[in-house]
Amino acid sequence: MLTIRNLHASVEDHEILKGLSLEVKPGEVHAIMGPNGSGKSTLACVLAGKEDYEITEGTITFKGEDLTEMAPEERAREGLFLAFQYPVELPGVSTMQFLKTAVNSIRAHRGQGDMNVAEFLKLMREKADFVNLDHKLMQRSVNEGFSGGEKKRAEIFQMAMLDPQLAILDETDSGLDIDALRVVAAGVNKMRNSERSFVIITHYQRLLNFVVPDFVHILLDGRIVKSGGPELAFELEDKGYDWIKEENGEAIVA
């Protein structure tokens, strides 16, 4: 599904990803954990195609194609989805119009015609219920004035609408209360199948109690320094990142 080899990426001549490799196969759930500033969101944005980041070395292939050659919208149409750590508010852009354009763009790419209005409304309602999203939010502008938790839920709602093959969730669990966390996790679990893969970026073990990953990776200073099974997340929860930093020869400044 996704193969990243020796990825180096910089922003404004400042190298942030320093040789990152990752292999995600169909149906797998990978968790990426790491301290603040280690490059998790950078990885997510590079995968989604944000132009501010320059790839200086390495390769990314998605479903056998060179991902770096594709525009952000092409990546989305090919089935890549990013749930943003900080979803953008689009004042004045109606959620309906936004999602209709998105869904129909993806359908057109698959050679399907526009969805009719009734079908589309049905899909919206269905998927909103899927993440317990208040239907009133769909009448508003995209993310405008949404609370932090509502924004995260709305991202999962969008994910469900767009039906991706690879979903990257960037700290979708942060700022959620326990009920919202359960809803988001249930959403992911319901979508989980042998074809669809997830990369879940998180700081906390708690989401992983609900969505049990196949692999856990630790990202430190732009590199994956340790990979393991779900137990690695527990170890991190217990011991923090310091032991990993020590293992990797970083000086710990008290």
Ligand X SMILES: Nc1ncnc2c1ncn2[C@@H]1O[C@H](COP(=O)(O)OP(=O)(O)OP(=O)(O)O)[C@@H](O)[C@H]1O
Residues that bind other proteins (CB under 8 A): 48-51, 71-73, 75-77, 81-82, 84, 87-88, 90-93, 97-99, 101-103, 105-106, 109, 141, 158, 162
Backbone angles phi, psi at 70, to 5 degrees: -95, 145
CA dihedral 108, 110, 111, 112 (to 10 degrees): -70
User: 29 to 58, contacts with Mg ion by CB under 5 A?
Assistant: 40-41
Looking at 1, 2, 9, 16, which residue binds ligand X (CB under 6 A)? 16
How near is the Cβ of 48 to ligand X at its closest, in Å? 13
Residue with smaller CB distance to ligand X, 32 or 138: 32
Number of other CB atoms surrounding residue 16 within 10 Å: 21
Nearer to ligand X, 84 or 130 (CB): 84
Q: 90: Cβ–Cβ under 8 A, 6 or more apart, which residues?
A: 98, 141, 142, 143, 144
Number of residues near Mg ion (by CB under 5 A): 3
In the chain, what is the straight-line distance between the N-terminal and C-terminal CA atoms, in Å?
41
Site string for ligand X, 52-91 (x = CB under 6 A): x--------------------------------x------
C-alpha distances (whole Å) from 41 to each of 53, 180, 250 are 11, 22, 22
